[in-house]
Amino acid sequence: MDGWMRRREGGQVRSPAAGSSTQDGFSQDPGYLAWQEKLRCILFSLANSAVPTRVSSPDTDERRESSEQLQPLSSHRPERRREQPPPSLPTKAHIQYLKNYVAEIAPWLDMFDSQCTFRQQLPALARTFPPLSYAMLAISARQIERKNGICNWFDSLELYQEAIRRLSPLLQLRDPKIVAACVILCCLEMMSARAQDWRRHLEGCAALFYGYEIHGFSSGLLQALFWCYARMDLCGALISDGTQTTLLRPSRWLPPGCQAEDAYRLFKNVRSPDMHANYAVYLCVKATELVSDRTKFIELGEDNGCTTDTFYARWISLWTDLQCWFSERPSELLPVQTVNRKPFPHILFVHWAAISSNQLYHTACILLLKMMPRSVRFPRSPTLFPLWHARRICGISVANPHQGCLNNSIQPLWIAGQLFSHASEHEEIIRLIKSIEVQTGWGTCWRIRDLEIAWGCSGARGR
């Protein structure tokens, strides 16, 4: 990394990323592609390790202290390199990236976690675990580059490479900090990835969660890592437009031995607004699974058991669970104000987890209503109209500026946006999607083109 300073000084800056292009060249860089493949190999090697014991969970102060010391599975302990920041990264840049991680990146990752694991616990753990430190700096640098429209991405690329380089000697270890570094690097990859590449970026982490038997009810740090990954996995399923569900099947989101019918009790027993919000993620995943199974059964002739009778029973059960989720929301997940405006109502929440979880409820309802069995009969209710849900998805994004929730709203906005026909609605959705890329640096504008096609627009309306 000797050329770091020279490259930084020669970096070019263009106008902010707002509405520009979701691709800035980073994801096609040969150096990035080579190290991305190396990270995939690391993840699959970790997942396939023949270690019988489950990874430890640092859910108490004592366990947190012990987890800061790497626990080897053999007598050989790799040499630990503690230099932070790396000599060629100026202290000023290191501080800038760390501050940006705490102020902007961690809230994305913590939005369903009132304990703020990514903002409070991980920086402390990273002090003695270089791969995690480099991963945090890398994602922060990548976000700054995208948000500010920096054409050269040398800092994020070299920090990304260094994080992976530091992970390589640790393949025989089973430590939660390794999982944390991998999840953050996965999130970095998703920030610039093309939509069709999302599942490839998620595959390695999915294998890691399978291999380590990490699920939604793992305790402490591992639970926070799981739900951060789970939301990305759900976004990948929503991108597929009904053809696929998550890489990590919903059955693996629950503790070993639990069945789908146990989910309500498991989430309810935790008695936490965060976990009620996570339940919305789970139910939305179940919706993608049902839609995918039915689509494959009907259109591809796949023998997956999703017959008409089975589909009806699963549809009714899931719809009931969704309405139960909505009616049983704790006070923290209820809106504090709803203002009826045109074209979309403004629905304001104060709890971070309330924003995305309510959007996901409406998203799951739209998915189910689009495939509602003809024989279903319910009393007349607004919840039975897809447009009612679609307006609320848009209204939630309009009224709530939390960056992590804005990032996670792109696929719900795509699903909702297809249902609108008026030009004023189209223009507001386009403005909203553009503003999300401006505020967060996350690639979003590719969905504008998809919506314009769905609306039958011949040109780039609203640009």
Q: Is residue 372 part of a domain?
A: yes
- Considering the domain architecture, whether residues 249 and 379 belong to the same structural domain is answered as yes
Of 181, 212, 243, the domain-final residue: 212
Strand (E) or helix (H) holding 364: helix 352-369
And the tokens for 4? Answer: 């770091």
- Considering the domain architecture, whether residues 280 and 358 belong to the same structural domain is answered as yes
> ∠ CA 355-358-362 to the nearest 5 degrees?
135
pLDDT tops 80 at residue 21: no
At residue 347, the 3 state secondary structure works out as strand
Q: Is residue 94 part of a domain?
A: yes
- Considering the domain architecture, whether residues 354 and 410 belong to the same structural domain is answered as yes
- Considering the domain architecture, whether residues 194 and 270 belong to the same structural domain is answered as no
Neighbours of 263 (CB within 10 A): 20
Alpha-carbon span 60 to 72, nearest angstrom:
21
Q: Is residue 62 part of a domain?
A: no
- Counted domains in the chain: 2
The pLDDT tens digits for 366-390 are 999 999 999 999 999 999 999 999 9
Whole-prediction pTM value? Answer: 0.87
- 59-82 burial: b if 16+ Cβ within 10 Å, else e: beeebbeebeebeeeeeeeeeeee
Cα distances from 183 to residues 137, 153, 435, in angstroms, run: 14, 21, 26
Residue range of the domain that includes 250: 221-463
- Quickly state the pLDDT bin for 86 (edges 50, 70, 90): low
- Considering the domain architecture, whether residues 261 and 325 belong to the same structural domain is answered as yes
- Considering the domain architecture, whether residues 32 and 113 belong to the same structural domain is answered as yes
Helix axes 176-192, 198-212, angle to 10 degrees: 170
- Considering the domain architecture, whether residues 311 and 338 belong to the same structural domain is answered as yes
The pLDDT tens digits for 261-291 are 999 999 999 999 999 999 999 999 999 999 9
Residues 6+ apart with CB under 8 A from 73: 49, 51, 172, 173, 174
pLDDT tops 90 at residue 185: yes
Contact by Cβ (8 Å): 88, 2: yes
Q: Is residue 140 part of a domain?
A: yes
- Which residue shows structure tokens 């591809």? 300
Q: Is residue 292 part of a domain?
A: yes
Alpha-carbon span 184 to 225, nearest angstrom:
9
Neighbours of 272 (CB within 10 A): 15
- Quickly state the pLDDT bin for 438 (edges 50, 70, 90): confident
- Considering the domain architecture, whether residues 371 and 312 belong to the same structural domain is answered as yes
Percent of the chain whose predicted confidence (pLDDT) is above 70: 84
pLDDT tops 70 at residue 177: yes
- Considering the domain architecture, whether residues 360 and 458 belong to the same structural domain is answered as yes
The single-letter code of the amino acid at 103 is A
DSSP letter string, 197-212:
GHHHHHHHHHHHHHHH
Q: Is residue 391 part of a domain?
A: yes
Q: Is residue 172 part of a domain?
A: yes
- Considering the domain architecture, whether residues 183 and 250 belong to the same structural domain is answered as no
And the tokens for 134? Answer: 């480099």
- Considering the domain architecture, whether residues 2 and 100 belong to the same structural domain is answered as yes
> When comparing pLDDT for 66 and 294, which is higher?
294
Q: Is 294 exposed, middle or buried (0-12, 13-18, 19+ CB in 10 A)?
A: buried
Lowest mean pLDDT among 69-73, 228-232, 372-376: 69-73
pLDDT tops 50 at residue 205: yes
- Quickly state the pLDDT bin for 401 (edges 50, 70, 90): confident
Q: What are phi and psi of 395, to 5 degrees?
A: -65, -35
Give the pLDDT confidence score for residue 24 in this predicted structure. 65
pLDDT tops 60 at residue 87: no
- Considering the domain architecture, whether residues 208 and 235 belong to the same structural domain is answered as no
Strand (E) or helix (H) holding 329: none
Of 212, 236, 253, the domain-final residue: 212
